[in-house]
Chains A and B, each alone.
Chain A
Amino acid sequence: MAELTAIATQIRRDIVRMVHGCASGHPGGSLGCTDYFTALYFKVMQHDPAFNMNATNEDVFFLSNGHISPVFYSTLSRSGYFDIKELATFRKINSRLQGHPATHEHLPGVRIASGSLGQGMSVAIGAALAKKLNADKNIVYSLHGDGELDEGQVWEAIMFAAHHKVDNLISTVDWNHQQIDGTTEKVMDHGDLRHKFEAFGWITLEMNGNDMDQVVETLKAAKALTGQGKPIAIMMHTIMGKGVDFMENDHNWHGVAPNDEQLARALAQLPETLGDY
């Protein structure tokens, strides 16, 4: 577990350096979801960084809230999909690391474009159906922002997955209660999210997404619940901006990059553990 925590610290360091490097991007949600990404890619998922688009006989992950691309890119490079040096090109001209994830530039590890919100669960369902048709027993994971659940398409997908018994799907909601214009309670209150998923026919779990032990254990528990005729949702409580004290719980850090002084303060809290890119 100490090893996973060290990886997460380096990924957080990558995130703040990447958004600072291009003076744009989304650090808040990226930092909040870093422990989830670390657990998924370094512990839970069976995946091959050699990367084949069709994800044959391996688990597959879809990022629906594509704006947290910094954590996705850092995780992919740190787990061997591409050279960490490429992280320095994030959001710059001629880069494979687009502002929001894309397949257009053929970045290994990305299987669908995301950024326009609300589409990722549907895509994950499609991939899960393909696995069933191919008699492939592996699992499909997806991650969604809580603000993203404002989009009606997500609820179409939630209804579909239960109706069609898509039981090889584990969808996680980053329940940080923050969206661009303020708290989710203020902008568009989701109410009792967990029970909404349950009412739609999903198995639900809940975890502290910033407690590495809990994240690993909950993801393992979710995996054990697959194949029982129901899709699985994890309500993941996170702190937006986790790991950088002045960014924590502040929706203003949704899509703003730190300046030089703020970067120095952030990096002082995030020691280099695996070597910077």
Chain B
Amino acid sequence: MLKEIQSTGNKDTRSGFGDGIAEAARKNANIVALTADLAGSMKLQQFIKEFPERFVQCGIAEANMISIAAGLTIGGKIPYTTTFANFSTGRVYDQIRQSVAYSGKNVKICASHAGVTLGEDGATHQILEDIGMMKMLPGMTVIVPCDYNQTKAATLAIADYHGPVYLRFGRPVWPIFTKESDFKIGKAQHFSEGTDVSIFACGHLVWNAIQAGLILEEKGISVEIINVHTVKPLDEEAVIKSLSKTKCAVTAEEHNIFGGMGDAIAQCAAKNFPVPIEYVGTKDTFGESGTPKELLKKYGLDIPDIVAAAEKVINRKKNS
């Protein structure tokens, strides 16, 4: 089954966002886009061209942008705030907490350049804690799509979902391997059925997980690969069902292993079906400058890291 998954091209996930918001805006007149001096990086050109009156340039003032977005909902607007993931979360946590999450406002926080694959700009911009921060907020939906198509689909889907959303995507050109129609908020996506190990991944690392799965299959290991694009609310049913079958798991994400998607899976397992779990993620560290490829390798997020984690967790299962 994994062999059938082919890349149909390469594109950055942020372009999926840019194309998605333009399409969403054609369907829904209430959608407004805000940015903090990053309209180009966030691929908003088409939206601005078609809907200049619904574009709000905030300048380099992210706190103001988030609270303005909260105000726009009072009047029925559906604001999408756009900037890098670091400035979308850590910089404005309190604004999101009070004016958006606690106030239950229908704001869509759209964040690009997440994780180490941002590359050469280095650790000041490579946030690895944002999934954790956002999933801690009561009522916040957290979505981490894996490719261009899925980011576009998610950008469209959140317009029809009422409530605060954190949508996390990235900078690098990456394989396209899903269909837009595959995406449903809160519904995990299966790439393969297996019996030896479950691999739960999100974002860019879904592709790496699939490549790791191919290697593991060559070794005669039966792998179940699940894309947890919606980290919150977690598709617990899919997680429990898979763990009941494989009885061990690997989680893979471009995020600190403390507080990320892996923790969500582990909590679900601990409550419902405890099994050995290995985490692929950054190990409580900041990133650094380099190419995305170099950084994925150095920080243990590469295909061989997922293969090794799977073999390790299968051994733990056998020895337990």
Contacts and interface: CB of A to CB of B under 8 A. Distances in A.
Interface of A: 53-56, 60, 62, 102-104, 111-116, 118-120, 122-131, 133-134, 136, 152-153, 156-157, 159-160, 163-164
B216 interface: no
Contact of A130 (B59, B71, B95, B97): B71
Contacts of A130: 71-77
Nearest to B101: A113
Interface of B: 32, 53-54, 56, 58-59, 61, 63-64, 66-77, 79, 94-95, 97-99, 102-105
Contacts of B68: 122-123, 125-126, 129, 157, 160
A104 B70 contact: no
A159 B104 CA distance: 27
A13 B54 CA distance: 46
Contacts of A152: 63
A55 B75 contact: yes
A55 B102 CA distance: 19
Q: Which 7 A-B pairs have CB atoms at the shortest separation, nearest pair first?
A: A126-B71, A130-B75, A122-B67, A156-B64, A156-B61, A123-B71, A126-B68
Contacts of B70: 112, 122-123, 126
Contact of B74 (A55, A102, A156): A55
Contact of B59 (A116, A120, A133, A160): A160
Nearest to A114: B98
A143 B258 CA distance: 40
A153 B64 contact: yes
B98 A131 contact: no
A126 B70 CA distance: 7
Contacts of A118: 63
A125 B98 contact: no
A115 B102 CA distance: 12
B63 A122 contact: yes
Given A126-B69, A126-B72, A130-B76, A156 B63 contact: yes
Nearest to B70: A123
Contact of A119 (B32, B53, B74, B95): B95
A160 B74 contact: no
**Interface-centre pick from A126, A128, A129 (highest chain B CB count, 10 A):** A126
A115 B99 CA distance: 10
Given A126-B69, A129-B71, A130-B76, A103 B103 contact: yes
B64 A160 contact: yes
Given A123-B71, A125-B71, A112 B99 contact: yes
Given A103-B102, A126-B70, 5 more contacts: A103-B103, A113-B102, A134-B75, A160-B58, A163-B59
